[in-house]
Chains A and B, each alone.
Chain A
């Protein structure tokens, strides 16, 4: 057995779509169960009253990172076959700022707006509509934006490669940063309650 299963041909197209559907359902279910379909809870992140987003995101990053690292070391996963999205510095920075502003103003991000909409929240539905309109707008305006879209490409790089650090050292740094942030988050939440 070797992963990624799709890359090694162990999962066909239909099976891959089915797995993606199941993972998507599980993702949405746990986001909702974790309270992340609630804009008030998410907005608490920016007011430092509820840091659940930080904890969820960092937990997910650390879990996935340690899983990928150690499964590769155990020979169960070929990390070179995991697709990396190319990095485009300027478009990603601008997109990140737009994303952040939208997140603060709307209280939801794209994934959680889908969760909120599917559980019947009006704010989630409005945000979902806005997101679809934004996608349409972007595609229509693409000829004007494509210069920026393809600018400042770094290629398929990892943070470790960019910083010239061994992958294991970066894993260690991220784990320590995550655990430190969890402790800090607990203290901040305790103070504001």
Chain B
């Protein structure tokens, strides 16, 4: 009896072998090391006592899909439609009520200026939303720190170590981390937005 091997049959057999091997191979992810905080947390990676959070920390929360994370954009619908942080919801300041959140949610607020965002976060915290924070410089901070971060080539070793994490986060959100000599001139918000990739696909 002669067994005939067709191309389709061989491909199917290869897929089956690889598929059968998958359950015993374990997780395809490289552990959770990339999500674990570093041993010594720099200030930017933890919320400040007054509830201020950095864009880097918000980006990290978004990337690790922090459960219960809510982001509220207080700048108005027009500004929101032009650009907003991932996952952000447009909310009018007068509509940012504690009843809209549960106590175990993490709320990040940003607005047209630092004072308004700080006041909103503080109001939420006083109403019992313990994890209410504010992104002081809002969208500008996101554009600068996440989508357009820069590092000087003569940065100190500890700055370079921190840079790796920043650059990784930046690329995740479609940013363009740059190492540039001299004082890096940040790109304009419009240019950063123009170069930001809206990802997606269609077949």
Chain A binding surface SS class:
helix
Q: Are B172 and A172 in contact (CB under 8 A)?
A: no
Q: Are B203 and A110 in contact (CB under 8 A)?
A: yes
Q: What is the 8 Å Cβ interface bit string for chain A, positions 150-184, against chain B (1 contact, 0 not)? A: 10010111000000001111011011101100100
A110-B202, A110-B203 known; A62 and B15 CB under 8 Å?
A: yes
B49 to chain A, nearest CB (A): 29
- In the complex, 13 of the A-B residue pairs with CB atoms within 8 angstroms, ordered by the A residue number, are A9-B177, A66-B22, A69-B25, A70-B25, A72-B29, A85-B199, A111-B202, A155-B65, A167-B22, A168-B24, A171-B23, A172-B20, A172-B22
B173 to chain A, nearest CB (A): 9
Asked if A192 lies at the interface with its beta carbon under 8 angstroms from chain B, I say no
A113 to chain B, nearest CB (A): 10
Query: Which residue of the partner chain, among B23, B34, B35, contacts A172 with CB atoms under 8 Å?
Result: B23
B172 to chain A, nearest CB (A): 7
Query: Which residue of the partner chain, among A6, A13, A75, A178, contacts B15 with CB atoms under 8 Å?
Result: A178
Tell me the bound Cα distance from A112 to B176 in angstroms. 32
Q: Are A7 and B171 in contact (CB under 8 A)?
A: yes
Tell me the bound Cα distance from A152 to B146 in angstroms. 26
Asked if A47 lies at the interface with its beta carbon under 8 angstroms from chain B, I say no
Asked if A126 lies at the interface with its beta carbon under 8 angstroms from chain B, I say no
Asked if B42 lies at the interface with its beta carbon under 8 angstroms from chain A, I say no
Query: Which residue of the partner chain, among A9, A79, A168, A182, contacts B167 with CB atoms under 8 Å?
Result: A9
Give the number of residue pairs across the A-B interface with Cβ within 8 Å: 103
Asked if B119 lies at the interface with its beta carbon under 8 angstroms from chain A, I say no
Q: Which residues of A contact B (CB under 8 A)?
A: 6-9, 13, 57, 62, 66, 68-70, 72-73, 75, 78-81, 83, 85-86, 109-112, 142-143, 150, 153, 155-157, 166-169, 171-172, 174-176, 178-179, 182
Query: Which residue of the partner chain, among B16, B26, B172, B177, contacts A81 with CB atoms under 8 Å?
Result: B172
* Interface bin, chain B: 20 to 34
B55 to chain A, nearest CB (A): 18
- Of chain B, the residue at the smallest CB distance from A186 is B8
- Of chain B, the residue at the smallest CB distance from A155 is B65
A174 to chain B, nearest CB (A): 8
Tell me the bound Cα distance from A110 to B202 in angstroms. 7
A80-B29, A109-B203, A150-B89 known; A175 and B16 CB under 8 Å?
A: yes
Tell me the bound Cα distance from A153 to B35 in angstroms. 22
B37 to chain A, nearest CB (A): 15
Query: Which residue of the partner chain, among A66, A78, A166, contacts B30 with CB atoms under 8 Å?
Result: A78
Contacts of B89 in A (CB 8 A): 150
* Known contacts A7-B172, A85-B200, A168-B22; 19 further A-B pairs (Cβ under 8 A): A6-B171, A66-B15, A66-B19, A69-B18, A69-B25, A70-B18, A79-B28, A79-B29, A109-B202, A110-B202, A110-B203, A153-B87, A166-B23, A168-B27, A168-B28, A169-B22, A171-B22, A172-B22, A176-B16
Contacts of A168 in B (CB 8 A): 22-28
